[in-house]
Each structure stands twice: as C-alpha cells, then as structure tokens.
Amino acid sequence: MPKRKRGITGDVASRREAIRKLERRVVETEEERSRRLSTMAQRGQDRRAEEKEEQRNSRLSDMAQRGQDRRAEETEEQRNRRLTVMGQCNQQRRAEETEEQRKENTFWGERNVYVSDNICKKKIGGRHMKISNKKTRFERIFTCLGESK
C-alpha cells in the first residue's frame, strides 16, 4: 500500500501558489512591476531568437489559425463591437498625433498613392500596364521616379 502524501497536493497547491503570486503583484512597486515585465519580454525575445525558421513559421501559423477560429465563432454583434473599438483606437491615435506627424504621414501616404497609381503605370494603347514585374516594389518606385538606389 503506497504511503499517504502529507500536506496539500495537486489542484489545491497550484491554486494557493497562484493566490500567493497575485498577492505579491498587488503589493509590488511600479519599479518591480516594470522589472518583472521587462524580464518576461526579454525571455520571449531570447526564445524567439533561438527558434528555427520552421518553428517560427509554425508558431505564426498557429497564431493566425487561432485568430481565424475566433473570428469564425464571433457573432455579428461581437464583430461590430470589435470593429468599433478598432475605429475608436484609430480616432484616438489621430487625435494625439502632432501636426508635424500628421503632415509627414499625409506626405508619405500621398506619395505612395501617387507612385503606385500614376507613375508606375504606363498607358499603352489605352490600357495601363505595370512596369517590370521582375523588380521589387522598392526598385520599381525608384525606377519610375528616375532616381537610382
């Protein structure tokens, strides 16, 4: 007959450990919290740095699949709420954006549209044709602008 284990085991022990961790976090200072989160972030970076390309692809694929599953299960109401929150975040970001940042973002946004919609297409026989599909997007832009890399 096996010996009877003394003390608390199993689920109760892990529950008590979780409660202890929560209590520690309640009393921790901002500096301790910052240090703990920084350590966690560093561990994540180290783990990602060590993973192989195949592992990375698998991890990203799993994340994408979970996102798709979550969206497939959400109701129309949940979807609308999620999109509303995204819109509010964008509005808040735009409201906090300085005038200089706004000008820079507008400039690059307009420039990209201008480059992709107008310059990098040639009108040949009434139809728009793309220039040199073998070049990267970056090379096409500079070719179209007449600049060299």
3-class state of residue 133 by DSSP: coil
pTM more than 0.85: no
Q: Report the length, in residues, of the chain.
A: 149
The DSSP letter of residue 1 is -
What is the number of alpha carbons within 13 Å of residue 149 lying toward its C-beta? 8
Distance in angstroms (rounded) separating the CA atoms of residues 122 and 141: 13
Indicate the domain borders of the chain. 99-126+135-148
Cβ neighbours, 10 Å, residue 140:
19
| pLDDT one-digit tens code per residue, 97-121 | 787 777 777 665 555 544 444 444 4
| pLDDT one-digit tens code per residue, 13-40 | 788 888 888 887 777 788 888 898 899 9
